[in-house]
Amino acid sequence: MRSISIFGATGSIGENTFDLIVRAGGADTFRTVALTGGRNVARLAEMARVLRAEIAVCADETCLPALRDALAGTGTLVAAGDAAIAEAADRPATWVMSAIVGAAGLVPGLRALRHGSTLALANKESLVTAGPLLMATAAQHGARILPVDSEHSAIFQGLVGEDIASVERIILTASGGALRDWPLEALAAATVTEALAHPNWAMGQRITIDSASMFNKALEVIETREYFGVRPDQIEVIIHPESLIHSMVGFRDGAIMAHMGAADMRHPIGYALNWPDRAHIPVARLDLAQISTLTFRAPDLARYPALRLCREVMATRGLAGAAFNAAKEVALNHFLGGGIGFMDMAGVVEDTLAGLSSDMRLHSDVLSLDDIIGADHLARIRAGEAACALAARRP
Ligand code: NAD
Ligand code: MG
């Protein structure tokens, strides 16, 4: 029996993963080792009962008594807190879904790789903050990382049987997010609710806002560089409002392989779950005659400063990815809290990177987890200061 764990089981990716596991036979087909969540104890406990998980862990320690009550008599162990989530990753499982949102996903993913698990990686933040460390850890322990981000799954599938040396360019598609058709001058006043109205994808709250600002695409550009090892100048971004082509690989003979399918994360999750096989996945089938047209347009960098900032991060390398991601997470928190405006998020990240460029070992290429966590903490402090300064200047 295959053993699995899901980190971030109660989120959007976690729910889709749970759905596929249940459809594939649930506890009769898989031995579930660990399920983790944040605060939604009722849902976590329900999932643990259905899959007869060995351990269920919630991030919020105050939720532990409720989790214990909800799973009393089931035989599922319970625990809480960041350390307990990391320890849950030390329980060996063959296939581990990394679907915690944010930098908090890094340590459990690294621990799973150290046990040689196949890591289905939705948590792109770990590659952005610690790409070289993550890839080296996988290589050292004979573990495999399978991309779950729809773009990276598409690229991965486009590269099956190909030599990476024959790749000329990688074209990441972007929906453009909820505000893509707004006039540029209106963006500064966009509210959280408006930025959450994503045209094509149903996702967690944070990544949905990051789609509107294209910080999500900026993270994905860096993710592409770290995962596939291509040069930054080989990575392009194109707005494709229909979200039916999930990304493309261009080869040196001029061919472009495009990956198409419904905008449903169960496809890339299911591909990673069944890899190298393909199994039946219950996503909608495309009716091309009905769709009739696919459109593309170049992104405007004035509208999406994140796309410019990610280029600076890739040029700097070292700890810049950790600082970029941490500053972005803080800026997003301040936008969600109403303290800063939509376009201020990029300002916070830019100020943070500029402020740290002189006093961090940004250029070092050999990075330890301690260095990365240190840069993340420092960037969070600086970004908090930058956000408060911007908030104070708001009318
Ligand atoms: P989500 O917010 O819906 O779920 C996140 C999960 O992580 C939840 O289980 C939550 O309880 C848990 N969590 C949150 N903070 C935590 C913390 N500090 N410690 C431990 N657990 C914590 O997010 P999502 O949309 O499912 O995204 C998960 C990851 O997948 C992100 O890295 C995101 O960028 C990536 N991703 C998501 C999608 C998508 O369609 N949702 C697509 C591509 C990539
Ligand atoms: Mg994506």
Ligand 1 atom nearest residue 13's Cα: 26
Contacts of residue 28, defined as CB under 8 A and 6 or more positions apart, other chains included, come to none
Q: For residue 201, report the distance from its CA to the centre of ligand 2, in Å.
A: 10
**Residue in the structure block whose two tokens are 């307990």:** 84
Take atom 39 of ligand 1 and give the residue whose Cα is closest: 203
Q: Sorting pLDDT into bands at 50, 70 and 90, what band is 364?
A: low
Q: Residue 386 above 90 pLDDT?
A: yes
pLDDT band at 187 (very low <50, low <70, confident <90, very high): very high
Gap from CA of 68 to ligand 2 centroid (Å): 35
| Per-residue model confidence as pLDDT tens digits over 274-298 | 999 999 999 999 999 999 999 999 9
Residue of minimum CA distance from atom 42 in ligand 1: 149
- C-beta separation of 7 from 98 below 8 A: yes
Res. 362: pLDDT tops 70: no
Please write the tens of the pLDDT for every residue from 318-343. Answer: 899 999 999 999 999 999 999 999 99
Q: How far is the CA of 123 from the centre of ligand 2 (A)?
A: 10
User: Which pLDDT value is given to residue 394?
Assistant: 83
- Measured from CB, residues less than 6 Å from any atom of ligand 1 are 8-14, 37-38, 59, 85, 99-102, 104, 122-125, 149, 201, 203-204, 206-207, 265
Parallel, antiparallel, or unpaired: how do β-strands 167-174 and 145-147 relate? unpaired
- Its pTM surpasses 0.95: yes
CB atoms within 10 A of CB 385: 15
Query: Do the Cβ atoms of 102 and 329 come closer than 8 Å?
Result: yes
Nearest CA to ligand 1 atom 17: 104
3-class SS at 219? Answer: helix
Among candidate residues 76, 89, 81, 74, the one with its CA nearest the CA of residue 38? 81
Residue pointed to by tokens 């495309």: 286
Q: Which residues are placed with Cβ below 5 angstroms of ligand 2, an ion?
A: 149-151
If you measure from the C-alpha of residue 61 to the centroid of ligand 1, how many angstroms do you get, rounded to a whole number? 18
Lateral strand order in the sheet of 235-239? 235-239, 167-174, 245-251, 256-260
C-alpha atoms less than 13 angstroms from C-alpha of 42 in its C-beta half-sphere? 0
Tell me which ligand sits closest to the C-alpha of residue 13. Answer: 1
As to burial, measured by CB atoms within 10 angstroms (0-12 exposed, 13-18 middle, 19+ buried), residue 163 is exposed
How much is the average pLDDT of 198-223? 95
Average pLDDT, the chain: 96
The two most distant CA atoms of the chain are separated, in Å, by 62
CA of 37 to the centre of ligand 1 (A): 9
| Average pLDDT rounded to a whole number, residues 120-139 | 97
Distance 124 CA to ligand 2 centre (A): 9
**Whole-angstrom Cα distance, residue 211 to residue 200?**
11
Contact 108, 33 (CB under 8 A): no
Question: How far apart are the CA of 1 and the centre of ligand 2, in A?
Answer: 31
Label each residue of 54-73 as H, E or C. Answer: CEEEECCHHHHHHHHHHCCC
User: How many other CB atoms are found less than 10 A from the CB of residue 242?
Assistant: 16
pLDDT digits (tens, 9 = 90+) for 27-83: 999 999 999 999 999 999 999 999 999 999 999 999 999 999 999 999 999 999 999
144 has a pLDDT exceeding 70 = yes
Closest residue by Cα to atom 16, ligand 1, is: 38
Residue 53 · residue 76 · CB < 8 Å: yes
pLDDT value at residue 9? 98
CB 240 within 8 A of CB 234: no
The 118-121 sheet, strands edge to edge: 77-80, 55-58, 30-37, 2-7, 95-98, 118-121, 145-147
Q: Which residue minimizes the CA distance to atom 30 of ligand 1?
A: 122
Strand partners, 121: 98, 147
* Partners of 46 in the β-ladder: none
Confidence band of 359 (pLDDT split at 50, 70, 90): low
Task: Tell me the mean pLDDT in the region 266-275.
Answer: 98
Judge whether 104 and 98 are in contact, CB under 8 Å: no
Which ligand has its closest atom nearest to the C-alpha of 210? 1
**Element at 32 (helix H, strand E):** strand 30-37
